Amino acid sequence: MKIAVIGGGYVGLVSGACFAELGNDVTIIEIDPAKVLAINEQQPPIYEIGLEDLLKKHIGNRLCASITYDSVASADIIFICVGTPPNSDGSANLSYIESASAMIGAARRTVPTYCVVVVKSTVPPGTTAKIVCPGVLQSAHKTEGEIGFVMNPEFLREGRAIADFMHPDRIVIGSADDRAFNYVAEAYHKIDVPVIRTSLSAAEMIKYTSNAFLAMKISFSNEIGNICKQLHIDVYEVMRGVGLDHRIGTQFLNAGVGFGGSCFPKDVSSLISLAKAIGEDPLILHAVLKVNTQQPNRLLKLLRARIGNLNGKKIAVLGLAFKDNTEDIRDSKAIPVIQELLLNGASVSAYDPMAVEAMRKLFPTVTYCHSAGHALDGADACLVMTEWPEFGKINKEFERMKTRVIIEGRRILSCNGTEGICW
């Protein structure tokens, strides 16, 4: 099939590369010329395991990037993969969705053949039916039936996105008509997993609900961890026993400093905003964000209890990305921690395998190091913020510290003499 993907960001680029791997002809449409150039030169502008290999395999064959909407005219399916960043009130900003819809319609105005427009961006329920569908049809000067509409949410974890795309738990296709559903199902025909057909709005809600539930599991685990800390109980032992209950499951039960990234904080906030707009007060969702916001403060409180006043102290921060296997620092818990350290007069030496340059833009006065050992030299304390596997191998490097105070926000270290935020 001929596929056009609107948006060359994280979701669009990964999805486009994977659809090419499935045998489709894909054009990724991106407004940033630098990203287009990088993609066409087989250099991914983001880090994702296996992505560079897919670009090298398919660029110039089944995959390309463009700054124009020309490929939309001949596409069988057009995926909308643009951002929906939060507004100041937490609601989803749909301006990129509206713009993409108008541009798609304009590109299809003189095309008589049928196509399907698919929303893959995370959007509030009702967006596809009330914004995308009329936006495309009005711009295209067409009526319902000439263009199909589908909501097909993505469930991609950063650092593991290609594996998640190729081996998902399920594929959700929200559609109001059989023809549109069949088009999109065909694009995934090589992936043998359950295909869930729903309404457009139910598919949109499935995405929000999935992310909110996973965020809730993390905040719940952190709250249990905070209780276990006071009772001198290892929360990881507790959650290992809890997670083996098949009704609960083992994933997203690792207690720590909280969740970050581009999805969970934004999507929970957007769901809260949506609930408020219809007169509901989502108490659990409020608690999910409250616990998540407070966790870094607990880490800093523990640090002060161990070394006293932070003024003039050198603190090593290991891990800047919000999770391992990515350079993404969006809503990283290292951000509020470093900000508080600097405000209290501490000097910060930091190391991350991939996220240094991104964090340098936020905190240029921090000393960024080329290794964990370099960051630990002469440090009064160390905070581990990201579960990078290489941190699990650190041992003798801690001997380079002035005082051996090591606090983990993510449980990854294997050496002795460490303490966790909630274990």
Query: Mind telling me the catalytic residues?
Result: 263
Which residue has tokens 């589908």?
A: 150
Query: Would you call 408 helix, strand, or coil by DSSP?
Result: strand
Report the amino acid identity of residue 328: D
Distance of CA 249 to the CA centre of its chain: 21
**Cα–Cα nearest to 132, from 115, 119, 145, 146:** 119
**Cα–Cα nearest to 127, from 30, 202, 181:** 202
Are the C-beta atoms of residues 117 and 137 closer than 8 Å to each other? no
The half-sphere exposure of 355 on its side-chain side, counting CA atoms within 13 A, is 29
Alpha carbon distance 72, 69 (integer Å): 6
**In what order do the strands lie in the sheet containing 406-408?**
367-368, 347-351, 314-318, 381-384, 406-408, 419-420
Neighbours of 359 (CB within 10 A): 22
For residue 343, what are the contacts with CB-CB under 8 A and spacing of at least 6?
A: none
Are the C-beta atoms of residues 343 and 336 closer than 8 Å to each other? no
**Cα–Cα nearest to 201, from 87, 108, 278:** 278
